[in-house]
C-alpha cells in the first residue's frame, strides 16, 4: 500500500489505465498489477 501511494503521488491528476491484472490461484495468495500513465 505504501508503494501505491508513492507511485500515485508521482503521477498527474488525470491518468489512463494501460493494463490491469488480478489473479487468484487455487492455493495461494492473490496478486495483482496495474499500469497507469499520465494522460
Task: Chunk the chain into consecutive blocks of 10 residues (it has 39) and report each block's average pLDDT, rounded to whole numbers.
Answer: 80 93 90 90
Pairing, β 15-23 against β 31-38: antiparallel
Q: In Å, how far are 10, 17, 39 from 21, measured between CA atoms?
A: 21, 11, 20
Domain ranges of the chain: 2-38
pLDDT at 20: 96
Cβ atoms 23, 32 nearer than 8 A: yes
pTM of the predicted model, to two decimals?
0.64
pLDDT of residue 4: 76
Amino acid at each position: 500500500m505504501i508503494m501505491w501511494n508513492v507511485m500515485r503521488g508521482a503521477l498527474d491528476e488525470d491518468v489512463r489505465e494501460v493494463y490491469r491484472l488480478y489473479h487468484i490461484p487455487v492455493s495461494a495468495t492473490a496478486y495483482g498489477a496495474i499500469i497507469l500513465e499520465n494522460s
